Chains A and B, each alone.
Chain A
């Protein structure tokens, strides 16, 4: 329990919460904002590609510009990358507290390089990665919720629980508890501090609070667990979790 704040802070650095891209005046990961580029209409219009303005060149210091005339098309800044397969599975284990034992079976399909035939980790947001990342998330999230429910841990279910009445009926958590728990999960999974009344929480709260209709195959308790596991899966496969 005492390590949770440290883990969350660490994840904050790993997952780098919200990032805004390169826009005028925006944070650029400590780098100076790039000069106007060919993709930036204002900067490109006067000189055309390949010829920099004084501002492009960073002023005339008298020193030779290592880039010569200046690049024709500057990149917009850092690009968004998907976690590698290893990074994803380690992150998943960190946030759910559960390992995914099948990982080695599917690591290659998720893009892990074998350094024999394939020497680069695939970091594309591909169908295969999406498929197996979803499988991994379902397996670990189910385990995490089950462990919370049966062993009294609070990895996923910290401010809301799954309690049943003696007759097996699910005792619903209050909406406030559900939102508080999702707020906590946003911080845990996405390193994103959101307000309790943030609309970002709404879709996930609706998922949990939707009416529960038990069936012969699925008890109210099982449905309750599934709902929270689904929230866990949703956040563990959220684009903000998958990319940095």
Chain B
């Protein structure tokens, strides 16, 4: 039987927390960190990001032979990378990431990651599980599911949340199956009734009848659905009992609107709303693992690349910066927090005939915390943005090394958490674990 005893003890303070949240105040750190749960956040940039504007830029003065930087086409503010010092070295970072500079001390960038695909569905499946997919079909479990399974998930009502993305669970307990929300604003509807609820007497009688009623599904089925329904029903009842609706309604929360630079609090697809929802879910102790689509509209094959790609990436990164501000209030060095940001692949180094960039397999991945060393691991060919082998210990180019693949990152994050990494079928980058 599923036990919620530990969580119940913690949850006793939640109505007060919700009230505090509705008033725009920070919730006490004691409430924010139940048990010893590690927090995992996976953020997806939909459409394939142009790493030349962010994670893997080039200096226009270097005039790379095989790369058309398109500097003159870009709008002001997105033409020049900047030099940041983190991880004990200087690195060029693209203009779209400017808002993340204050978090560079906990930032790890993996460059030259071979996605081995330029098809959106395949890339999306790959960065969901970090295991090579079979065509467009994901293999294995979502990384968020894996991370939730490795946590004290019994302490959380919604151990593994997935916003706008599918979640997979083949190998772990049903309790850590991703709880799907189409959009971040569904969180409000999840924690409060949308139909007129029954009176307390009738609700109690209904609950009693449900508990006494029997299913006619035979015991011969090993996957009898009744336990799963009971778990889900118990969680829903607890969620509704907490009256958390106000905590996820940002329309009157000027504090969170300001910090997350939210334009329309009712737009569940807006990066700021997604990030703020993630923070609330974590801060209220409802979940330990969240996977979400943070930003979309990056598939810029035409001239909108020049106008949209940079600002849209920046909006996403700015939301991550705000989320990190909040996460670091309780975990300054992110020792118990992993934030990973990714896209399905990157965009071509050359600009096509329509003024945009097409799909490119040499990707970069961004991680904050997670027990990793800050810095840049891996590289692409300076003149072409092509893939290159790197030494898996130093992360520096090395012809005798290996090209990094997404499963290296999955294995490394799992190993850094002390989880089994066998499913990834590669060794973790142990020298990059702090």
Contacts and interface: CB of A to CB of B under 8 A. Distances in A.
A202 B229 CA distance: 21
Nearest to A225: B202
Contacts of B193: 135, 138
Contacts of A18: 216-218
Given A111-B180, A200-B214, A234 B199 contact: no
A171 interface: no
A229 to B, nearest CB: 7
Contact of B206 (A126, A136, A139, A233): A233
Interface in B149-177: 157-158, 164-166, 174, 177
A20 to B, nearest CB: 3
B303 interface: no
B202 A203 contact: no
Nearest to A243: B225
A207 B205 contact: yes
A239 to B, nearest CB: 5
Interface stretch (A3-11, A87-95, A101-109): A101-109
Interface stretch (B102-110, B182-190, B332-340): B182-190
B209 A206 contact: yes
A200 B210 CA distance: 11
Nearest to B216: A18
A101 to B, nearest CB: 11
A153 interface: no
Nearest to B179: A127
A210 B206 CA distance: 11
A76 B224 CA distance: 12
Nearest to B293: A117
A26 B220 contact: yes
A23 interface: yes
A128 B190 contact: yes
Interface in B218-234: 218-226, 228-229, 232-233
Interface residues of A, number: 65
Contact of B228 (A125, A210, A217): A125
B3 interface: no
Contacts of B190: 109, 127-128, 131
Given A128-B190, A230-B202, A21 B217 contact: yes
B2 to A, nearest CB: 12
Interface string A8-43: 000000000111111100100000000000010000
Contacts, number: 175
Interface residues of B, number: 59
A130 B224 contact: no
A229 B198 contact: yes
B206 A230 contact: yes
A119 B174 CA distance: 21
B177 A124 contact: yes
Contacts of A206: 205, 208-209
Count chain A CB atoms within 10 A of each CB in B178, B215, B235 and give the residue with the most. B215
B62 interface: no
A142 interface: yes
A80 B225 contact: yes
A53 B236 CA distance: 48
A207 B209 contact: yes
Interface in B233-274: 233, 235-236, 239
Nearest to B158: A127
Given A218-B199, A226-B199, A106 B189 contact: yes
Contact of A226 (B189, B202, B229): B202
A17 to B, nearest CB: 7
Contacts of B194: 102, 106, 132, 135
A108 B165 contact: no
B46 interface: yes
B217 A80 contact: yes
B120 to A, nearest CB: 9
Contact of B225 (A17, A39, A106, A125): A125
B218 A207 contact: no
Contacts of B213: 200, 203-204, 234, 238
Nearest to B138: A120
B418 interface: no
Contact of A76 (B178, B179, B201, B221): B221
B20 interface: no
Contacts of A22: 220-221
A129 to B, nearest CB: 7
B5 interface: no
B228 A109 contact: no
B212 A80 contact: no
A162 interface: no
A21 B197 contact: no
B219 A130 contact: no
A130 B136 CA distance: 29
A126 B186 contact: no
5 contacts: A126-B232, A127-B158, A131-B189, A139-B196, A231-B209
**In the complex, the 6 A-B pairs of residues with the closest C-beta atoms, listed nearest first:** A21-B220, A108-B182, A20-B218, A18-B216, A21-B218, A203-B212
Given A18-B217, A80-B217, A131-B190, 5 more contacts: A17-B216, A129-B232, A131-B189, A206-B208, A231-B209
Interface of A: 17-23, 26, 39, 76, 79-80, 82, 102, 106-109, 111, 114, 117-120, 122, 124-132, 134-136, 138-139, 142, 190, 192, 200, 202-204, 206-207, 210, 213, 217-218, 223, 226-227, 229-231, 233-234, 238-240, 242-243
